[in-house]
Amino acid sequence: MNQPDPKQTPAASRQAEPAVRLQKGLRSAVVIVSGKDQKGVSAEFFRVLANYGVQLLDVQQSEFLGHLQLAAFTGIKDEHFAELSEALTAALTPLGQQVTIEYRTEDNETPAPDPRSTHVVVVLGNPVTAQAISAIGATLAKHGANIDRMRGIADYPVTGLEIFVSVANPAPGASEDLRAALAQLTSNLGVDIAIERAGLARRGKRLVCFDCDSTLITGEVIEMLAAHAGREAEVAEVTERAMRGELDFEESLRERVKALAGLDASVVQEVADAIELTPGARTTLRTLNRMGYRTAVVSGGFIQVLEDLAEELELDYVRANTLEIEDGKLTGRVIGQVVDRAAKANFLAEFAADSGLTMAQTVAVGDGANDIDMISAAGLGVAFNAKPALREIADTSVSHPFLDEVLYIMGIPRTEIDTSDREDGSYHRVALD
């Protein structure tokens, strides 16, 4: 006897799985109510259903710009079909609602809601156009994926849409072609597109680790220090080559630090005071901390510059290089282990273990070649305005200069962020150009 492929889960087999069934004597129907949102619509809807002994298997209700849609997957007695329709119409028409009932005649012995989505596609941009969504929809269809539902997830500082889809083959690794096709669309459409597996795997992320320079903050700390030594251009050129993966990070770091020899140690605090956070960084860290996430920064920069910032942002973990200081001057050397590619990944694993988490529950965000190992090791790796070497291996890429986008990729809506900010008085939006 031929055995079914465990990687394939056709709809027929999914619906045959154990589930709550209709009570004896009931037939399935989908009841839909739509119209202008008003108080009392839901109450009247369920009051009428209750009068006819209706069983509920699934309910979805949404409100969009003052318009309501309420749908219920139900079990109804045959003799009540016509009377129920009339009763719903009579009760809800005065409230401005239209009523539709779709009676199901097939598979009445095992009526069950459609299977839940296998993946989530997040689209971020300013603007997001109908053309972009059309192209994404066509790509999904070409690869056998079906759009189940979508919702807005952000209206600031970018427009964000969350699209729930079911792929033809949900087995791990089976959707890589789709992932690659969506990644190809990003440059053509001018939007960021992320796809990840839906369900518990997505919601289980509990630790977020950020690179610092050009990720959590806008600049490169070593270049800021070099500016005080009058060697900014020289150091910037070495930094760029290292970020592109053309130079070994440790060697490039030591070469750049040599340029700082003789600087007064007070310059370190001056640079720390001059640091500018990436737009959305405070919101992102504040939101993650509120939700109980563990947060971390791992930097190829310098601990003396980051300590105050890490405390201010309430980071749980911080790791960076240590500048050697003697007699109040920088020596041009670093002390101890250099935080390179391998070290960043090792620190992420250390943080996860200390937090009692698996690596699948981690998120890493970075921008350069030095972040490759960390991004690869994380459960979700996000390339933030990154160099090509990192974009190629990351799970998803962000091309807009707002760290909030990481929250949206993780499925945290802007409305919930803003509600919490208003409650504690931290709500603030900067006008967009």
Alpha-carbon span 235 to 255, nearest angstrom: 8
Contact call for residues 239 and 255 (beta carbons, < 8 A): no
Residues contacting residue 32 through CB under 8 Å, at least 6 positions apart: 69, 70, 71, 99, 100, 101, 102
Residue 433 CB contacts under 8 Å (≥ 6 apart), including other chains: none
The tokens describing 266, both together, are: 């007070």
Alpha helices in 157-301 (DSSP H): 176-189, 200-203, 221-228, 232-243, 249-258, 266-274, 281-290
Task: Look at the alpha carbons of 417, 204, 400, 301 in this order and tell me if their dihedral is positive or negative.
Answer: positive
End-to-end CA distance of the chain: 65
User: Residue type at 33?
Assistant: V
Give the DSSP letter string of 239-274.
Answer: HHHHHTTSS-HHHHHHHHHHTTTT-BTHHHHHHHHH
- Find the helix packing angle between 130-142 and 176-189, rounded to 10°: 160
Which residues lie closer than 8 Å to 207 by C-beta, 6 or more apart?
A: 293, 294, 295, 296, 351, 352, 355, 357, 361, 362, 363
Written as six digits, the tokens of 226 are 């070099």
- Report the amino acid identity of residue 133: I
Give me the active site residues, please. 211, 213
Q: Which two tokens stand for residue 121?
A: 């596609």
How far is it, in rounded angstroms, from Cα 317 to Cα 272?
A: 18
d(CA 333, CA 325): 8
Q: Is 137 helix (H, G, I), strand (E, B) or coil?
A: helix
